[in-house]
């Protein structure tokens, strides 16, 4: 179609070069002719200017491995473009993120066998997706961690989401999420930071090299006395980032009241690109004089 339009334009130009110029009457008539009304827009945007869909990096993991009954299975899928795509989850793991471009309301389904009856009254069993969990993400989010927790005595899951973009959660750092009524304190070789109840605390400066540190966690309760939760050496470096979730179990004994879940994300170093070496053009070798011409005597 484009080629046909170009050829028509070339033929028209060649033809009009041979026509005499319009006389004054024809020129005036052409000038006085009313302009054609512009075509009305149908309100549809040019598909070329259609905004690109926002891509999210979703990291979905279990808070803890689900306790299933013998013979019971748990097949999950995420709703993408009106179809459920199977997903396979581990506990407290950040793996390869899922590129998600669907609706801001993320829907996770569970495959379940549903029995119905056909027209003859016979039972028919099919696999269908039923709602299992959902959570909402905003258009400004990029990297999201979604923690799934099975609801007690219900076939659904509760979801908590966290921003784990490298700007908010860079490598070489330690973050603590406090889900207790106490204040949680962290001491790393004398560097101390706190996480208030329901808040997130983090180490001030990321680690820039691999080293062994003394890591201590404590719960500071209402009486002001610290209750030690963790005290051990730990290897840290600039390639790893750690999330600690401190939760409180209601009606548990003092020894089992606090629970700590840790999630470690590790990235391999990438070799730095070598600077481009300056290319020096090779000198052209001067043509050697043949031995015969060198021995030939110069003309007198």
Higher pLDDT, 275 or 60: 60
161 and 61 housed in the same domain: yes
Q: Are residues 83 and 161 in the same domain?
A: yes
Residue 109 lies in a domain: yes
| More confidently predicted of 77 and 26 | 77
Model pLDDT, residue 222: 84
| Mean pLDDT, all residues of the chain | 79
Residues 129, 183 share a domain: no
Is 152 part of any domain?
Answer: yes
- Number of domains, the chain: 2
The mean pLDDT of 103-115, rounded to a whole number, is 91
Same domain, 179 and 152: no
Q: What's the pLDDT score for residue 156?
A: 93
Residues 6+ apart with CB under 8 A from 146: 58, 59, 60, 61, 106, 135, 159, 160, 161
For residues 260 and 178, membership in a common domain is answered with yes
Query: Is-above-0.85 flag for pTM?
Result: no
At 288, the pLDDT band (50, 70, 90 cuts) reads low
CB of 174 within 8 A of CB of 202? yes
Does residue 16 lie within any of the structural domains? no
Structural domain contains residue 133: yes
The phi, psi pair for 290, rounded to 5°, reads -65, 155
Query: For position 105, what pLDDT does the model report?
Result: 93
Residue-range definition of the domain harbouring residue 216: 169-269
pLDDT band per the 50, 70, 90 thresholds, residue 300:
very low
The pLDDT-based confidence of 5 (bands split at 50, 70, 90) is: very low
Q: Are residues 163 and 178 in the same domain?
A: no
Which pLDDT tens digit goes with each residue over 223-266?
A: 888 999 999 999 999 999 999 999 999 888 888 899 999 999 98
- Strand bridging mode 211-220 / 157-163: unpaired
Sign of CA dihedral 161, 166, 168, 169: positive
- pLDDT tens sequence across 14-54: 434 443 444 444 445 545 555 555 545 455 554 555 556 67
Q: Is pLDDT above 80 for 65?
A: yes
- Residue 149 to residue 10: CA distance in whole angstroms: 70
What percent of the chain is modeled with pLDDT above 90? 46
Q: What is the mean pLDDT of residues 144-162?
A: 92
Q: What is the mean pLDDT of residues 270-284?
A: 49
Q: In this structure, are 228 and 196 located in the same domain?
A: yes
CATH number of the CATH domain containing 222: 2.60.40
Lowest mean pLDDT among 84-88, 125-129, 207-211: 125-129
pLDDT classification of 113: cutoffs 50, 70, 90: confident
Share of the chain above pLDDT 70, in %: 72
How far apart are alpha carbons 125 and 116 in whole angstroms?
A: 6
Q: In this structure, are 63 and 156 located in the same domain?
A: yes
The answer to whether residue 132 scores a pLDDT higher than 50 is yes
Q: Is 7 domain-assigned?
A: no
**Residue 45: its pLDDT value, please?**
52
Give tens-digit pLDDT for 175-234: 999 999 999 999 999 999 999 999 999 999 999 999 999 999 999 988 888 999 999 999
Confidence grade of residue 164 (pLDDT, cut at 50, 70, 90): very high
Together in a domain, 263 and 199 = yes
Average pLDDT over every residue of 283-297: 52
Instruction: Tell me the pairing of strands 183-188 and 76-80.
Output: unpaired
Phi and psi of 47, rounded to 5°?
-60, -25
């Amino acid at each position: 179609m484009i080629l046909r339009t170009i050829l028509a334009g070339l033929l028209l130009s060649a033809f009009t070069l041979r026509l005499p110029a319009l006389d004054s009457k024809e020129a005036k008539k052409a000038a006085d002719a009313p302009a054609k009304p512009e075509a009305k827009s149908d309100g549809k945007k040019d598909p070329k200017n259609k905004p690109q869909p926002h891509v999210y990096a979703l990291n979905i993991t279990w808070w803890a491995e689900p306790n299933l009954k013998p013979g019971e299975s748990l097949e999950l899928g995420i709703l993408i473009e009106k179809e459920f795509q199977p997903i396979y989850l581990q506990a407290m793991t950040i793996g390869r993120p899922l590129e998600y471009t669907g609706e801001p309301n993320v829907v996770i389904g569970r495959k379940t066998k549903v029995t119905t009856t056909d027209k003859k009254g016979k039972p028919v069993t099919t696999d269908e997706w039923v709602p299992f969990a959902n959570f909402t993400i905003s258009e400004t989010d990029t990297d999201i961690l979604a923690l799934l927790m099975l609801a007690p005595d219900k076939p659904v899951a509760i979801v908590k989401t966290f921003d784990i973009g490298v700007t908010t959660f860079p490598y070489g750092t330690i973050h603590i999420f406090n889900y207790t009524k106490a204040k949680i304190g962290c001491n790393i070789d004398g560097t101390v930071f706190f996480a208030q109840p329901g808040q997130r605390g983090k180490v001030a400066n990321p680690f820039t090299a691999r080293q062994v540190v003394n890591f201590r966690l404590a719960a500071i309760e209402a009486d002001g006395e610290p209750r030690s939760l963790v005290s051990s050496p730990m290897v840290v470096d600039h390639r790893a980032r750690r999330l600690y979730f401190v939760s409180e179990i209601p009606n548990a004994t003092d020894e089992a009241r606090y629970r700590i879940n840790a999630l470690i994300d590790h990235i391999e170093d990438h070799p730095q690109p070598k600077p481009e070496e300056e290319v020096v053009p090779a000198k052209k070798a001067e043509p050697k004089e043949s031995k015969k011409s060198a021995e030939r005597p110069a003309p007198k």
